Structure 1
Amino acid sequence: MIHKKRYIATLAIGITSLLLIAPLSMHGSPKDGALDPSIPPRKASASTWKQLADISHRSEPQVRFGALLSPANKSQRPVEVIVGLKSPGSRRGVWKGRILISPTERDAVESELAHMPGVSVLERDELPAVQITLDSPATFERLRRQPWVDYVEPAYASAELSSIGCTAPPPISNSTLDSSGDILPWNFPYHRIPEAWRRIASGPHGGPGQNVTIGVVDTGILQGNTQLTMPQFAAGQSSGRQVINIATPTIFNPYTTCDHGNRVSALIGAPRDGINMEGIAWKSNLINVASHTTVVVGHDEALSVVDGIRMAHTLGAQIITMAFGNHVVLGNLYLVGDTIRYEYYRTDLRPVLFVGAAGTTVCPFGATAYPGYLDEVIQVAGASEQHTPVYGESCYGESVDIAAVVGLGGIETAGAGPDQYLGLGSSSGATATIAGILALIWSEHPTWSRDKVRDRLYASAQGYRDPEMGWGVPDAFRAVGGLASLSINGPKFLDELSQPYMLSANTGFAEGPFSYLWSTGETTPTIHGIGPAKKLTPVTRTLRVTDTRDGTTLASTFTLRPEPTGRPCAREESDARICDH
């Protein structure tokens, strides 16, 4: 792979070119955006010319594709922006999987834009958006007044954030070796990932993550990391899978000195080969797309991130991991959000689940990171070993959907060589962990819809939604159908002596198959009995359930305790008892 840079770049450019020239799909009527009350209006852009000019710190705008025409007014430094387009009178140009401006109307709008004085058009996006330069505040104000303008956002930003996230913390040193000889990252047992592996291996669908493709849209991988390149990626017990390492045309090179994407990919899917550490979904396919150079993605890399998301989905990703973002103080990335929604609702490609970080140290006004807080993204926060927030390591808020254990230290991931280990923590480590668990669920249930996979993830956690940490910390073993809990359903009280009762096994959504053994000797999931003939005689029954597929066995005891009260049964009380009449 090291000697195929030209081929990789050509492939990336080719994919992007196909996307750009492909016919726009799922068009709605030009009036759909105005008439459909389910389509929310776009929030007005708060950008001012001064903000745009301050952001555009370079003396000349960056040309990403094609040639840049000279600005009409050379006394001003040109400012590069992205303009979203819509039908006049409509609320948006695109909503979810629908483009709400017709091709004919879009052509007319773009022609009008291109002929505006002071405007130079650089690039047309697949969605109704155009990258342009503006020469002056007057041109900017004239543009914003046009009825076909959906939004205006900067096309690049300051480089002051360019190194954030690229320095790996040291991994926690109390690691254990798995039976394969690989290091078992310390947070895996907190999610019962090894137990999930055992159950998946005992089933009909192969190993953990098998036939599931995960796209990692991030900073790329380290040049010397053989764990994430072929053939080592498919070595040992991870045989029969593929990895694709590519870059967007802007980034050009999938190999990088910023190790963030490398650590995310390794935690998700490093091979089980006895050499380094093992990833969560060590039989999954990976598509690593280098699309940006820092964890805090501003407007400077929004266009490249858009390319990365499209490339990963086009190449077959069912899960796309986005362990990056920005915060409300940096402004919205409208084109990135529109792209995520559009790809999420596409019907011509495989259904995709997006997984995004809640953000780490910069949490202004209690906000979480964009684009993770979009409804179409599973937003992930970090948690302690006790399933509580780890302030300073992760952001929290009502938009968070799920959490993963990251603690206060780095989780082990593969470095540049076989004997090198890096750490990954915070919300990035949490995001990678959840992406891997999703792959385990989907590999165990290959026919499930993405909604069912996501809902099973949520259901495997604490059972209620917390205002800071969403559904909490998931149990991977429970999520893949393992026997994670056992209780006995029965009456809370008996109204009469010698009253018939029924007890039944409650295995949650564990999938079995099961064998049952009651203390009475019965081997069915439900038994019947007769309550005591005397008041002070308890009824106690014990049940042992064994999952005959993976060997897990749990036991539970149920007792009806006689409790003379001198008054009728209080049905609101929860203790099971025999009532005293």
Structure 2
Amino acid sequence: MTQKTLKLSIVALLIMASCTKEDVIEDAIVIDSAQKNPLTTVEIKSKINEALNSKESFNWKESSDYLLWSAIVQGQNIATIGFGISENDFDRSKSVNNKKIQNELIDIILKYEGKSLEKVLISSDEYLNLIDVVIEKQETIIALRKNNYIRYLEPADYRLLNDSNSTEKSESSSGCGYESEALSSADYTTVTPNAKVPWTFYQHNIPSAWNYSTGSGITIGIVDTGVSPNQTLLGSSFNDGQSYGRTVQKYGTYVDSIWPWSTTTDGPNDQCGHGTSMASVAAAPRNDNGVPVGVAYNANLVTYRAASNVVLEGYHEQNGVKNAFTALGNRSDVKIISMSMGHILSVGKIEDGIKYAYSKGKLIFCAGGTSTSFTNFVGVIFPAWMAETVAVTGVMEGTAYQKCDVCHTGSKIDFTVVMQRASSGNKVPVNSYYDNQTDYVGGSSVATATSAGIAALVWSKHPTWTRDQVLTKMRQSANLYPNKNTEYGYGNINVLLAVQ
């Protein structure tokens, strides 16, 4: 090679190197200097509240990269990624390329995070196209959001209502409690063999409907805080009085730990009280103990302790609910699922779990929302606003529709349940946390569990029906049908009509 040729070759290499360097810089993700430090929890909450006040909803898909990254950082750097070739590509068993897509996304994370797989991947869901990962860098968020296979990318442990800097308290203060209260004689009617029928059941003609159906052969799944081990009518005495030949099964999917890698649940037992009340109103036996009976007193029951309280905040609560829905979705005997818990923000993994159960033919009832001092500006809450769920709320006693004093209403509501007395303000009688004790429970929570029990009566009367046929019959038997009200849906169901 001549000296002249060598010089030309060196120049060419330098030009190529220069171009390659420029290309790398051009493709590099550059973070604005003002966005290199994450927003505080107060600043994040302010931006979310702005969206909630203006649109009554918030979705992480609409947030900026900076806001999303900040929320992930403020939630132990944990993120959930839902992936697939389309919005409805959530079921692993029906997704041909799920492993390839998952590996592609993990490779992006490893590239930008500069860490090994075991320090990045927390879990890969068995049934759903989603993974939980650790992300520290904003560049990783930006790179992932450019990928066409991302269905959603969300904080997995950001707490809007329960963050350590907040002076606000979660709804758990009203959702939980072991207290009991003697029932007013005006709030029940005693029927054979010595069971108390709550006053609200008569508002919907449920006792008359029992002449046609008591829920036999139908299994209700309840996703809540579990069931008390000290309430034998929801345990060893589930078959009592005129309730017979049925089963109750209890499971736990909630992990009581701040450590995301923990997988050991704390069991099926209710440590809140809320789940016990919901199970009672849906399916407590027609007992001879002088305590309240449930709507579908001959239905089977499967309960899940999926969360510690009614506000679905935090990694393990949202994971617990997702896992409960997929487990119930995989059971052929479960036809109805009731969940009287929720959040004012959407949660992608819970959406996936609900869609999975819905795809298996389940009829899913969710609470429309019960107000607290900091959620009363919100309409129907998540996941009741989903198309796959039936949203229920509570109303006052009387001929005119008036929501209960803590209940949410809105266009997503499908049904209402009368659950608050006009004069005394008393709610629905239920069995309490301990044997032979009673209590009152209200809000959209009890309305939801009541509706699940009603659905069991209808389905038991027509065991060959599909979910859609049952739901259509319930709508046709409601007193506002066929004109759906913008706040109260189809209104109160006449259960006697529904089972005839």
TM interval, shorter chain, is 0.7 to 0.9
Tell me what 1:291 maps to: 306
| Higher normalized contact order (CA 8 Å, seq sep 6+, divided by chain length) | 2
Tell me what 1:166 maps to: 176
CA distance in 2, matches of 1:437, 1:143: 45
Tell me what 2:219 maps to: 213
Deviation of 1:382 after TM superposition, in Å, equals 0.6
CA distance in 1, matches of 2:192, 2:489: 34
Q: Deviations over 1:109-160 (max 9, x none)?
A: 2452453332611111121111001122233333323333221111123345
Q: Deviations over 1:470-506 (max 9, x none)?
A: 000001111101xxxxxxxxxxxxxxxxxxxxxxxxx
CA distance in 2, matches of 1:293, 1:162: 11
Tell me what 1:281 maps to: 296
Deviation of 1:311 after TM superposition, in Å, equals 1.8
* Paired residues of 2:215 and 2:299 also in contact (CA < 8 A): yes
CA distance in 1, matches of 2:96, 2:60: 18
* Paired residues of 1:246 and 1:288 also in contact (CA < 8 A): yes
Q: Are 2:385 and 1:373 equivalent residues in the alignment?
A: yes
Tell me what 1:124 maps to: 124
Deviation of 1:430 after TM superposition, in Å, equals 0.5
Tell me what 1:409 maps to: 426
Residues 425, 170 of structure 1: CA spacing in aligned structure 2 closer, same or farther, 3 A cutoff? farther
Name the SS for the 1:253 alignment partner: coil
Q: How does 1:474-485 map to 2 (within 5 A)?
A: 474-481=493-500
Residues 171, 412 of structure 1: CA spacing in aligned structure 2 closer, same or farther, 3 A cutoff? farther
Deviation of 1:104 after TM superposition, in Å, equals 4.9
Q: How does 1:38-49 map to 2 (within 5 A)?
A: 44-46=61-63, 48-49=65-66
* Paired residues of 1:224 and 1:416 also in contact (CA < 8 A): yes
Deviation of 1:374 after TM superposition, in Å, equals 1.0
Name the SS for the 2:199 alignment partner: coil
Q: Deviations over 1:230-277 (max 9, x none)?
A: 2x0012211100000110162431112200010000000011121122
Tell me what 1:183 maps to: 196
CA distance in 1, matches of 2:426, 2:230: 25
Q: How does 1:320-359 map to 2 (within 5 A)?
A: 320-327=337-344, 331-346=345-360, 351-359=361-369
Deviation of 1:52 after TM superposition, in Å, equals 5.4
CA distance in 2, matches of 1:364, 1:162: 11
Q: Deviations over 1:490-538 (max 9, x none)?
A: xxxxxxxxxxxxxxxxxxxxxxxxxxxxxxxxxxxxxxxxxxxxxxxxx
Tell me what 1:552 maps to: none
Residues 108, 419 of structure 1: CA spacing in aligned structure 2 closer, same or farther, 3 A cutoff? closer
* Paired residues of 2:218 and 2:299 also in contact (CA < 8 A): yes
Alignment equivalent of 1:105, drawn from 97, 100, 107: 100
Residues 55, 180 of structure 1: CA spacing in aligned structure 2 closer, same or farther, 3 A cutoff? farther
Tell me what 1:470 maps to: 489
Q: Are 2:475 and 1:458 equivalent residues in the alignment?
A: yes
CA distance in 1, matches of 2:407, 2:277: 17
CA distance in 1, matches of 2:466, 2:339: 21
After alignment, is 111-120 or 279-288 more displaced? Answer: 111-120
CA distance in 1, matches of 2:322, 2:343: 15
CA-based RMSD of the aligned residues comes to 2.5
Residues 369, 172 of structure 1: CA spacing in aligned structure 2 closer, same or farther, 3 A cutoff? farther
- The structure with the greater share of residues assigned to strand is 1
- The structure with the greater share of residues assigned to helix is 2
Q: Which amino acid aligns with 1:266?
A: S
Deviation of 1:377 after TM superposition, in Å, equals 0.7
Name the SS for the 1:44 alignment partner: helix
CA distance in 1, matches of 2:112, 2:460: 55
Q: How does 1:380-529 map to 2 (within 5 A)?
A: 380-386=392-398, 388-407=401-420, 408-462=425-479, 463=481, 464-481=483-500
| TM-score of the aligned structures, taking structure 1 as reference length | 0.65
* Paired residues of 1:400 and 1:470 also in contact (CA < 8 A): yes
Count of aligned pairs: 403
Tell me what 2:238 maps to: 233
Tell me what 1:115 maps to: 110
Name the SS for the 2:79 alignment partner: strand
Tell me what 2:48 maps to: none
CA distance in 2, matches of 1:435, 1:46: 35
CA distance in 2, matches of 1:428, 1:344: 20
Q: Which amino acid aligns with 1:282?
A: Y
* Paired residues of 1:171 and 1:410 also in contact (CA < 8 A): no
After alignment, is 423-432 or 363-372 more displaced? Answer: 363-372
Q: Deviations over 1:399-432 (max 9, x none)?
A: 1001111114321111133321122111001001
Q: Which amino acid aligns with 2:330?
A: T
* Paired residues of 2:340 and 2:367 also in contact (CA < 8 A): yes
CA distance in 1, matches of 2:111, 2:198: 57
* Paired residues of 1:122 and 1:130 also in contact (CA < 8 A): yes
| Same amino acid, percent of matched pairs | 27
Tell me what 1:538 maps to: none
Q: Which amino acid aligns with 2:448?
A: T
After alignment, is 124-133 or 359-368 more displaced? Answer: 359-368
User: Where does the alignment leave 5 or more consecutive residues of structure 1 unmatched?
Assistant: 1-41, 62-78, 201-207, 482-581
Deviation of 1:368 after TM superposition, in Å, equals 0.4
CA distance in 2, matches of 1:107, 1:138: 19
Q: Deviations over 1:326-376 (max 9, x none)?
A: 11xxx3111211221222123xxxx21000110011555552011111111
User: Where does the alignment leave 5 or more consecutive residues of structure 2 unmatched?
Assistant: 1-58, 163-168, 256-264
Tell me what 1:146 maps to: 147
Q: Which amino acid aligns with 1:340?
A: I
Residues 366, 257 of structure 1: CA spacing in aligned structure 2 closer, same or farther, 3 A cutoff? closer
Residues 172, 373 of structure 1: CA spacing in aligned structure 2 closer, same or farther, 3 A cutoff? farther
Q: Which has the larger radius of gyration?
A: 1
Tell me what 2:284 maps to: 270
Deviation of 1:291 after TM superposition, in Å, equals 0.2
Deviation of 1:216 after TM superposition, in Å, equals 0.2
Q: Deviations over 1:205-227 (max 9, x none)?
A: xxx01000000000001221111
Q: Which amino acid aligns with 2:467?
A: R
CA distance in 1, matches of 2:493, 2:433: 30
Q: Which amino acid aligns with 1:281?
A: A
| TM-score of the aligned structures, taking structure 2 as reference length | 0.75
Residues 56, 267 of structure 1: CA spacing in aligned structure 2 closer, same or farther, 3 A cutoff? farther
CA distance in 1, matches of 2:200, 2:138: 52
Name the SS for the 1:389 alignment partner: coil
Residues 353, 47 of structure 1: CA spacing in aligned structure 2 closer, same or farther, 3 A cutoff? farther
Residues 459, 95 of structure 1: CA spacing in aligned structure 2 closer, same or farther, 3 A cutoff? farther
* Paired residues of 1:93 and 1:99 also in contact (CA < 8 A): no
Deviation of 1:383 after TM superposition, in Å, equals 1.2
